[in-house]
Structure 1
Amino acid sequence: MANSATARLGSAQHTSGAGELRERIGTFIRTRVIPAETVLDAGGGDATGALTELRGAARAAGLWALPLPADLGGGGLAFPEYAALAETEGASDHGPAALGSAPLLDVTMLRRHGSTRVREEYLKGLVAGEIRSCYAMTEPGAPGTAPLLTATRAEARPDGNWSVSGRKWFTSGAAGADLVTVMARTGGTARDRDGLALFVVPTGSPGFRVVRELPVLGAAGQYEIELDRVVVPADHLLGAEGYALAIAGERLALGRTLRCLRWLGQAERAFDLMCERAATRNGARGPLADHQLVQQHVFDALLALRTTRPLVHEAVALIAAGRDARTEVGLAKVAAARMLQQVTDSAIQVHGAAGLGPDTALPSLFRGGRAARILDGPDELHITSVAGRVLRGYGRGHGSPTRG
């Protein structure tokens, strides 16, 4: 959290204004969002009511939609400015939704690549929290890491619109979404790069349905969806036909970096819980904090946090500058996912049996850490992609990539 030991030891120095805003966000997450997590995790009507109340409180506190465009009703923070706050906001999985920053990826994508109608019809509603959106790329037979295998098809209709059919899964938030962006093949066969497109699909369209929920290690929020000849207006195509991979690449770079920032915040939360437990718990041989093996857990967790943060913020800086950040994002994503799992595992170990039960957030944080190693591409994908890029650079005589 914002007042934790790890936050005080953070690598970046920010202005007093940014520090004050970070403290306000930390207080809101700690006093409003975290106490509501049990209700929010359960889903259903009670969760909807709790989230609505939190969003109203965030607006009243001046914390609503901070990284979203000011002309659309957001706070207008640039990405580097928001990155300094995202760790604190992301200490709870529900933080981005409660504070209105969750649609950042969709708003950015639709603003850059949407038609005039798409921008005018949906953007202000997304920023205001009046409508919700989601993104569907992964398919039961075609993982998100292999988009060229996309089997969902979009066929041009005589009236100029599109007919989209296919099935997607692990689509976050699909059950409550008003819009879903769908990757579909408009031409060619599997492994053709030029035959893919992205479509903005209103979920109220005939032929769209949520097939089932797909709990991730017991946690709700992921869904399988089906599109059966869903008619999509011609102007709901994002960018040009065949441009899907470029748009998806932009989205993934930003999305993976945002996840890393939020994983840092969650790891700090687990670190705080571990240190508080060690400092206040007495075992048969005295305070846990005096045990060398407990101190080893604390040291290793702090080292993981402190060495991961600069990797993540290096990716932030490159994305903000519009530079190629593929290597840095890949490094940050693997490091942050591993770090979150390591820190939460150590926190559970120091808590003992109490770390396995419902009285702390550690089971949820650990589940998130394990899922992090698969979300937005498994570790193996990033490892082979980064290593391959590095080795190709040596083959071309470009020198060492270790200096950035």
Structure 2
Amino acid sequence: MDFSIPDDLQALQIKTRRFIADEIIPMEHDTRQSPHGPSAELRQALIEKARPHGLLTPHASIAMGGLGLSHIAKAIVFEEAGYSPLGPVALNIHAPDEGNVHLMEVVATEAQKARWLAPMVQGLTRSCFAMSEPDGAGSDPQMLATTAVRDGDDYVINGRKWFITGADGASYAIIMAKMEDGSATMFLTDTDRAGFIVERPMDSLDSCFAGGHQVLRFENLRIPATDVLGEIGKGFRYAQIRLAPARLTHCMRWLGAARRAHDVACDYARKRQSFGKALGDHQGVGFMLADNEMDLHTTRLAIWHCADVLDRGGKGNVESSMTKVVSSEAIWRVVDRCVQILGGQGVTSETIVERIFRDVRAFRIYDGPSEVHRMSLARKIMARGQEL
């Protein structure tokens, strides 16, 4: 692997870093934010800041209006965007839209792309991905209980979903439902269709996702057969297309957040005097800063390696599982240490670190908890041993 960053990508990195510092960080105290994320008005204001800089939806293909970034390029740019909780929203690269853009580009028909994908790439709409369910479907998608039954030229959807990120205010949804033969299919639907019901918001630790997290209910939601995403019965296969890249981009964005917390802690450790010397000169604090640097470094290397695998055409399922566990746990350690270094300032809104702490804790659960990834990896390890 070549770890050098090409000149054009380095220029994009610097451009993104300056944009976040000059345009987005000053907006972090904007009052148009709630425990359920930035408001639609604030989101649009952020997007309009990114648009003239040519940084809007950079991961989308050039044909769709993006920059067509490779996975390695996304690793560079997304880390810079993640340096502010509002950065991914501004660049239109936040979950679940980022993963849905990738899935739609691969699977959707041209008519579906024109109807749903193009406006989202332009920053005009948002989407949600409705798979997780209150009774089990999430880490184990085989437990899907939401059903789809053919009725003439339509499919009728019934069921309940929960922890659906971005559902409040989304223009369309991708719904995973179980067919009569037990297979799964993905369906596209406008969220204003009769039978698509947003029951309630869910309170959560994080507050960085536009639209928050919602509980949904489908009551005889009628979806035309033309709005099936891909082919009937291939929902689980399409989920894999979305899964590895979207899992990895989570790592990229949260790495930027952890780096921000570390920078704040380093600045504090240099300036704060304690027992006659700078706080960071005490080994107890200095060692924590050193451990942070090592965790950030190993996380970045894991991300870049997985990105390289994907760029070379590999599926990246194993690599993304390992990277997700390595990243989520290392990033949590980094931010936790930063809170400790900052003391009272770390547990209050005096710095951004308290907010980052709340946001990143859930990362060890999103896109599969660490335990599920370890279980999956263990099975592959045992199977590999049997083959030898």
When structure 1 is superposed on structure 2, of 170-179 and 38-47 the one drifting more is 38-47
Match for 1:108 among 96, 102, 108?
Answer: 102
When structure 1 is superposed on structure 2, of 285-294 and 112-121 the one drifting more is 112-121
Which residue does the alignment assign to 2:71? 79
Query: Following TM superposition, by how much is the alpha carbon of 1:30 offset from its aligned partner in structure 2, in angstroms?
Result: 2.1
Which residue does the alignment assign to 1:167? 160
Aligned partner letter, 2:173: V
1:311-361 superposed Cα distances (whole Å, 9 cap, x missing partner): 111111112222131221111001111111101111111110111001111
Which residue does the alignment assign to 2:150? 156
Pair 46,387 (structure 1): closer, same or farther in 2 beyond 3 Å: closer
Pair 127,324 (structure 1): closer, same or farther in 2 beyond 3 Å: closer
The answer (yes or no) to whether the contact 1:260–1:337 under 8 Å persists in 2 is: yes
Aligned partner letter, 1:174: A
The answer (yes or no) to whether the contact 1:145–1:381 under 8 Å persists in 2 is: yes
**2:202 matches 1:208:** no
Pair 227,364 (structure 1): closer, same or farther in 2 beyond 3 Å: same
**TM-score w.r.t. length of structure 1:** 0.90
* Mapping of residues 189-228 of structure 1, within 5 Å: 192=182, 195-217=183-205, 219=207, 221-228=212-219
Q: Distance in 1 between matches of 2:236 and 2:41?
A: 37
Q: Distance in 1 between matches of 2:298 and 2:338?
A: 18
Greater RCO (Cα-Cα under 8 Å, separation 6 or more): 2
Which residue does the alignment assign to 2:366? 375
Aligned partner letter, 2:118: K
**2:121 matches 1:133:** no
* Mapping of residues 1-400 of structure 1, within 5 Å: 12-39=3-30, 41-42=33-34, 47-102=39-94, 103-158=97-152, 160-188=153-181, 192=182, 195-217=183-205, 219=207, 221-397=212-388
Aligned partner letter, 2:255: L
Q: Distance in 2 between matches of 1:198 and 1:337?
A: 28
Q: Distance in 2 between matches of 1:356 and 1:380?
A: 28
Unaligned runs of 5+ in 2: none
Q: Distance in 2 between matches of 1:380 and 1:236?
A: 35
Pair 46,137 (structure 1): closer, same or farther in 2 beyond 3 Å: closer
For the residue of structure 1 that corresponds to 2:187, the secondary structure is strand
Q: Distance in 2 between matches of 1:177 and 1:86?
A: 22
The answer (yes or no) to whether the contact 1:209–1:227 under 8 Å persists in 2 is: yes
Pair 362,45 (structure 1): closer, same or farther in 2 beyond 3 Å: closer
Structure 1 residue ranges, 4+ long, deviating more than 4 angstroms after superposition? 43-46
Q: Distance in 1 between matches of 2:99 and 2:196?
A: 23
The answer (yes or no) to whether the contact 1:117–1:235 under 8 Å persists in 2 is: no
For the residue of structure 2 that corresponds to 1:176, the secondary structure is coil
When structure 1 is superposed on structure 2, of 348-357 and 99-108 the one drifting more is 99-108
Pair 251,13 (structure 1): closer, same or farther in 2 beyond 3 Å: same
The answer (yes or no) to whether the contact 2:244–2:315 under 8 Å persists in 1 is: no
Query: Following TM superposition, by how much is the alpha carbon of 1:45 offset from its aligned partner in structure 2, in angstroms?
Result: 11
The answer (yes or no) to whether the contact 1:179–1:200 under 8 Å persists in 2 is: yes
Unaligned runs of 5+ in 1: 1-10, 398-404
Aligned partner letter, 2:187: F
Q: Distance in 1 between matches of 2:107 and 2:48?
A: 30
1:226-278 superposed Cα distances (whole Å, 9 cap, x missing partner): 11111111111112111011110111111110001112111111111111110
Q: Distance in 2 between matches of 1:371 and 1:12?
A: 30
**TM-score w.r.t. length of structure 2:** 0.93
Query: Following TM superposition, by how much is the alpha carbon of 1:111 offset from its aligned partner in structure 2, in angstroms?
Result: 2.2
1:350-386 superposed Cα distances (whole Å, 9 cap, x missing partner): 1101110011111221122211110100000001111
Q: Distance in 2 between matches of 1:108 and 1:263?
A: 19
The answer (yes or no) to whether the contact 2:36–2:213 under 8 Å persists in 1 is: no
Query: Following TM superposition, by how much is the alpha carbon of 1:125 offset from its aligned partner in structure 2, in angstroms?
Result: 0.7
Pair 255,92 (structure 1): closer, same or farther in 2 beyond 3 Å: same
The answer (yes or no) to whether the contact 2:79–2:254 under 8 Å persists in 1 is: yes
Query: Following TM superposition, by how much is the alpha carbon of 1:16 offset from its aligned partner in structure 2, in angstroms?
Result: 2.5
Which residue does the alignment assign to 1:6? none
The answer (yes or no) to whether the contact 1:68–1:101 under 8 Å persists in 2 is: no
The answer (yes or no) to whether the contact 1:187–1:196 under 8 Å persists in 2 is: no
1:89-129 superposed Cα distances (whole Å, 9 cap, x missing partner): 12223322211233332122122212332122122111111
Pair 333,46 (structure 1): closer, same or farther in 2 beyond 3 Å: closer
Q: Distance in 1 between matches of 2:184 and 2:8?
A: 44
Query: Following TM superposition, by how much is the alpha carbon of 1:34 offset from its aligned partner in structure 2, in angstroms?
Result: 2.4
For the residue of structure 2 that corresponds to 1:165, the secondary structure is strand
When structure 1 is superposed on structure 2, of 81-90 and 243-252 the one drifting more is 81-90
